[in-house]
Amino acid sequence: MPTQVPTVYKQECAACHMAYPPGMLPAPSWRRIMTGLDRHYGTDASLEPAQVQQVSAWLLANAGTYKRVREEPPEDRITRSAWFARKHREVDPAVWKRVSIKSAAQCSTCHTQAEQGNFDEHQVRIPR
């Protein structure tokens, strides 16, 4: 996770899911997400215009540019990206449906240091 994470990003985005490191998506995906907050995956996640500007600038400045993230995933969903599928190919789909996990989008449930941007597989603890 980059330093200087905007407070509004931590407060607003992490209210429903973890505050994803911006490097997990390419800039075009973040741009679409931030311009569609009123219909954010079935939820109205609207922010004040100044907040949108601040968070957008930070996300775009820190968006993923390395090879595996350049590809824009379907629906701009991290969990639908090719790299995410590759990294989680050994996870039984039933695991994502556990009450203790809820969905593949809840990274910090299994990745114990995800909030700090550490997704090392040696730090994974899958709850029952």
Instruction: Tell me what pLDDT residue 2 has.
Output: 77
Query: pTM of the prediction?
Result: 0.88
Q: How many CB atoms lie within 10 A of CB 117?
A: 16
| Domain extent listing, the chain | 7-123
Question: Tens-digit pLDDT profile for the chain (128 aa)?
Answer: 777 899 999 999 888 888 899 999 999 999 999 999 999 998 999 999 999 999 999 999 999 998 889 889 999 999 999 999 999 999 999 999 999 998 899 999 999 999 888 999 898 999 98
